[in-house]
Each structure stands twice: as C-alpha cells, then as structure tokens.
Amino acid sequence: MPELPEVETVRRGLEPFLVGRTISKVEQRRRDLRFPFPERFAARLEGRKIDAVGRRAKYLLLDLDNGAVLVMHLGMSGSFRIAGPAEQAPGRFHHARSRNAAHDHVVFHLTGGTSVTYNDPRRFGFMDLTMRSQLSENRFLRDLGIEPVGNELTPEAVARMCAQTRLNLKSFLLDQSKIAGLGNIYVCEALHRSGLSPDRIASTLVSATGRPSAKLVRLCDEIRNVLGEAISAGGSSLRDHQQVDGALGYFQHTFKVYDREGQPCSEPSCRGVVERRVHSGRSTFYCAKCQR
C-alpha cells in the first residue's frame, strides 16, 4: 500500500493539472470500488472548479469551489494517469502507466482538454464526498492522529501518547490514531536510523515526569528526515506505485534495512545482519545488534 511519501508525490504530480480547472464531465464506470461511490457522485462533481489538492495522512483531498471535498484513497494499486495537451514528458525511471480499460474506473474530464483517469486493478481504493466544514467528522478521517510532517510531530506531543501506551514501538508508530500516515517501510527505516528496537516499549522513551528522552527526540527527527528524503526521491517504487507521469520513485535504493534480510547492517560501526520478523502480520526489518 502506498505510504505517506508516495501519496504526497501523487498529490504534487496532480496539483498543477487540477488546480483552477473545472470538471466538465465524470465517467464513473463502476458502482463501487472498495466501497460504493457516494450517491450522484458524477453529477455532484460536474461543473465544479478545483480550488486545491491536499493530503491528510494517506488520503488525497480535492477542494471544490462549493465547499465540498473529494476524499480519495489509492488502496493497494490505485494510480492516476494524465492525458491531454498538458501531458507531462516521461520522468526518470519511466514505466508506462496501465492502459487496460478494464481497470480504468473513473475518468475526470477537465476544461482545457486534459483528462485524469483513476486506474485500480485490485479495487482496494475508494472515493468519498464530504463538505470541508464536516471534514473532521468524515468516517475515514475523524480518528486519524497527528501528521508526521510539519509542526505537529513534536517530541512533547509524542511523549504524551507514549506515556499512555504499553505498545512496542513498531505497533505504536503504525497506529494511525496516534501518528497518521506512517507505514511499514518508513517505520522500519526510522527505527533503524534512531538505533531503536521495534520491540522496545514506547513508554520507555518518556521520563517519570513525562518528558521526552533524547532517544525520543532523535526518533521524531529521523521520522521527519526519512519522510522528507522519500518525498524528495518520489517515494519508493515497490510493486504498484508509480508517479502520475509514470516515473518510478527511487527511495528504495537507499533503504538501510527494509527488504534487506540477511544483508550486513549499513551502520559503519556495526557488524550485525539485517533480520526479519513479523509484527501483527507485517514484516519488520531491523538489526538486533545496533537497535536497542
């Protein structure tokens, strides 16, 4: 499933093609994806101008000129394909986007001749419509925690959450109600950079008075660092993820531990080997020697 950097990369790719354009026609080719489409989905979008393209955690948000917001989730294999006079030139690591019409489920026709097609072979993605004034109560967004990029992720904020849990760090960081948008890849990478074991209990990073430890401060810094680097690299192209122009992200070429089971730890002073184990059905890659 695409994680925050991949979704942010898609957002940045869509933004110049969508903002300021009016949706002239919507082709809705199915009644549902992972969930049914909202009632009168196409009719409620047609004729509306797109004011902004945003992101909340792993969700894309299209703000429309009537105060409505189109909420979209890519699921496991969802992607967008842009076509028309403003179509981008192929990017680095370009791979052609899927043009199998059987998987083209929604086509947004925009003024100026551009079309944006949502393609999703596995149909785990979904779309919803809500009003901006009710966004915080939307069923998909209301229980999300703080954003890991920006100003919300502070050691003090994370310390307050850590002090109230007995979860291990891997489970704590994947809990979307605490920190929204983190996924398996970047949690593994951030924990390795921080020298912290995925099995360590999160509350051990907080002092008896509730203050964040130096290790928790470093973890927050490394979360921001790894996400920022991944966004700059266009995300990690594993399995289905590509950018809107067909380019593949290349952050996977800098992985320290993820998907490197049996390989030497990348820390120069460490002679450990990357191991793999399963936490709650998800593969965890880490070095038991330098992550404590």
Q: What residues are labeled active site?
A: 2-3, 58, 282
CA dihedral 145, 129, 25, 90 (to 10 degrees): 10
User: In this structure, what DSSP letter does residue 35 have?
Assistant: S
Q: Phi/psi zone of residue 195: left (φ > 0), alpha (ψ -120 to 50 degrees), beta?
A: left
Distance CA 36, CA 33 (A): 6
DSSP letter string over 58-96?
A: TEEEEEETTSEEEEEE-TTT-EEEEESTTPPPP-TTB-P
Query: Are the C-beta atoms of residues 26 and 108 closer than 8 Å to each other?
Result: yes
Q: Is 265 exposed, middle or buried (0-12, 13-18, 19+ CB in 10 A)?
A: buried
Distance CA 63, CA 220 (A): 30
Burial 239-258 (b: 16+ CB within 10 A, else e): ebbbbbbbbbbebbeebbbb
DSSP SS3 for 249: coil
Question: Residue by residue, what is the 3-state secondary structure of 191-217?
Answer: HHHHCCCCCCEHHHHECCCCCECHHHH
Q: Which two tokens stand for residue 82?
A: 């842009």
